[in-house]
Amino acid sequence: MKTYPADWEPIYIETEQTEDKIKASYDQKFNLYGLTKEQFLDLAEKQGYCCAVCNASSKDAPYRLSVDHSHVTNEIRGLLCTSCNFALGVIADDIDALQRAVDYLRSRGTGVFVKETYQ
């Protein structure tokens, strides 16, 4: 589950999702990955309507989950939130680079430098 600083407050933007927009979102996923609506919703249910990486919930809007797939085999791996899907895309599914990022965060995640040093 994502955690945020105590003083952080999420900002929600109200958007109206019409049936046509929802259908278009599903149709795009089905056409790109050869999924049926039932297969997509079954996968979402198996994941608890959450992103497979960060566990962000999409129960109220499962169509917002992105289909994650291997760019080598085109096989579907699971459903991710937009942020996690983007992050894996940026790192080009490179497990070694991702491990280096994990190592970096573990070694420096609490901060190494004092902010005043750079002022």
Q: What is the CATH number of the domain that holds 53?
A: 3.40.1800.10
* Of 82 and 113, the one with more pLDDT: 82
What pLDDT is attached to residue 9? 47
110 in a structural domain = no
Beta pairing partners, 31: none
* Of 114 and 74, the one with more pLDDT: 74
Range of the domain at 87: 19-92
Q: How many domains does the chain have?
A: 1
The token duo for 73 is: 């085999």
* Of 17 and 100, the one with more pLDDT: 100
112 in a structural domain = no
Average pLDDT, the chain: 80
66 in a structural domain = yes
84 in a structural domain = yes
101 in a structural domain = no
116 in a structural domain = no
Nearest-10 Cα torsion for 108, 93, 59, 28: 150
Q: Using an 8 Å Cβ cutoff, are 60 and 90 in contact?
A: no
What pLDDT is attached to residue 32? 83
What pLDDT is attached to residue 60? 82
Judge whether residue 109 has pLDDT over 80. Answer: no
Q: Using an 8 Å Cβ cutoff, are 76 and 67 in contact?
A: yes
Q: Give the model's confidence band at 55: pLDDT under 50 very low, under 70 low, under 90 confident, else very high.
A: very high
* The amino acid at 56: A
Q: Angle 37-46/19-33 helices, nearest 10 degrees? A: 90
